[in-house]
């Protein structure tokens, strides 16, 4: 459900409602037709919760993006130490290729921030409309990935230390 396509997200939610209508004791589509005002209130509450979740996900996403961008920038300039000003423009064009869009910085214009936000419409739509799935994915998938990265980095650093001790005497 982590697709950037609003059409795909709507299709999945629609299929979910249709599946509940046809194959479960719950009948959301019938309920909507029999209780339109109450259904409208439920839909409004659902979207409001989705908007709150969107704001939380957006803060998390931009924070992770900032860290990834800073790490990429530090690595770039460590590998290419230069005072050549073209190195900065080369970095910016390569960063745009790596991240798939221009990452706005403190020097960016307001239009660049709007372009950045508009590049993520599909994700924002998914976070708002399919927030229960996004919420589950965030709470179960993200911590597991972080745990795996932590374990992997510890094992890797241990293996590097062993290699240094064994091969450092050559």
Tell me how many domains the chain contains. 1
In a domain, 1, yes or no: no
Q: Does residue 5 register a pLDDT over 70?
A: no
In a domain, 149, yes or no: no
Q: Does residue 76 register a pLDDT over 60?
A: yes
In a domain, 137, yes or no: no
Digit-coded pLDDT (tens) for 34-72: 999 999 999 999 999 999 999 999 998 888 888 888 888
In a domain, 153, yes or no: no
Query: In degrees to the nearest 10, what's the CA dihedral of 12, 136, 30, 46?
Result: -100
Q: Is residue 131 a contact partner of residue 49, using CB atoms and an 8 Å limit?
A: yes
Digit-coded pLDDT (tens) for 121-130: 888 988 898 8
Give me the half-sphere count of Cα atoms (radius 13 Å) on the Cβ side of residue 159. Answer: 6
In a domain, 154, yes or no: no
In a domain, 73, yes or no: yes
Digit-coded pLDDT (tens) for 127-157: 898 888 888 888 887 778 878 888 988 898 8
Q: Which residues of 120-151 are buried (b: 16+ CB within 10 A; e: fewer)?
A: beebbbbbbbbbebbbeebeeeeeeeeeeeee
Range of 48's domain?
6-130
In a domain, 94, yes or no: yes
């Amino acid at each position: 459900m982590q697709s950037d396509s609003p059409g795909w997200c709507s299709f999945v939610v629609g299929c979910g409602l249709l599946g509940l209508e046809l194959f479960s004791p719950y009948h959301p589509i019938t309920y909507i037709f029999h209780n339109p005002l109450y259904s409208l209130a439920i839909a409004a509450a659902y979207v409001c919760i989705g908007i709150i979740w969107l704001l939380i996900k957006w803060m998390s996403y931009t924070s992770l993006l900032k860290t990834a961008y800073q790490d990429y920038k530090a690595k770039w300039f460590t590998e290419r130490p230069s005072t050549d000003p073209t190195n900065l423009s080369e970095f910016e064009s390569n960063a745009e290729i790596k991240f798939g869009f221009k990452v706005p910085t403190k020097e960016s214009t307001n239009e660049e921030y709007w372009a950045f936000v508009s590049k993520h419409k599909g994700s924002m739509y998914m976070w708002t409309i399919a927030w229960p799935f996004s919420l589950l994915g965030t709470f179960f998938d993200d911590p597991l990935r972080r745990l795996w990265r932590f374990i992997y980095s510890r094992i890797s650093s241990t293996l590097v230390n062993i290699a240094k001790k064994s091969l450092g005497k050559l």
